Structure 1
Amino acid sequence: MKIYVDADACPVKDIIISEGTSAEIPVILVTSYSHFSNAEQPSGVETIYVDSGADAADYRIMKLAEKGDIIVTQDYGLASLGLAKGCVVLHHNGSSYTNENIDQLLQTRYLSAMARKSGKRTKGPKPFTSEDREKFKGLFKRAISH
């Protein structure tokens, strides 16, 4: 098992790194070159840099991920692909993507995009809270213990 993180805007990287390395599961952070850092990562953590293209991180994660791996992303498209590949896919707000909820999430994303395209305003994501952080930590710990 490996943990892949769509890392550009992930607010729980510290939890993933701490819990993943404690469980001796490799953590792979996939991020764009625009987020380049010389910071040393702990043993067991690898950073892969990709171009800044819209889906570059998604494509790299899908190229590397295998059945049973964990993917952390807020991108519904990547979540859908990860589920189809047999991965466990988590959102940083503490929810799981499942075969039961992904179609509804993709439909909602599509309808929101169409509304914006026609000039309407849509709500963005809710602010990330400390409760979301704790919910993610619990969900993540359960996911890596299976």
Structure 2
Amino acid sequence: MPRQYARLAVDRELADEFHRGVKSLGRKPSEVLEHLLKAAVDAIEHGIDPIDMIHICRLARSLGLGRGGYEVGREAGILLRAYYRPEELLEILTRIGPKILHTNRVGPRAFRVSDPIARDTVRGILEGMGYRAAADEDIITIETA
């Protein structure tokens, strides 16, 4: 790493928490940071905002790899409540939805999802977050519960 980037400017408390967490996994903090930076550069090269990677990872971890459907989405939505308010999740789905779930926002309270499994998954996520969601063909409309 270039000298000027040898120390990253982060909050001391956050740096200490990161250091403790990484050490408990048996890794070196510098090794983990190097891989995180490589992943961020790779994301940028593929047109993904590195901050959105955090949301993508949380969503993927909540859903589980290769899983989909209403019940899976509903359980994921309940887990995602720990990280996001319902309004925040709508904004995040607007940003990352097209990339990972082929979900496009078509109105303030509507998403278009052409894949039936992804549609059920997104509807489940929204209902797990506390919205009432209805699917009509490829459009999901939502209202607050």
TM range (shorter): under 0.3
Structure number with higher helix proportion? 2
Q: TM-score, normalised by structure 1?
A: 0.28
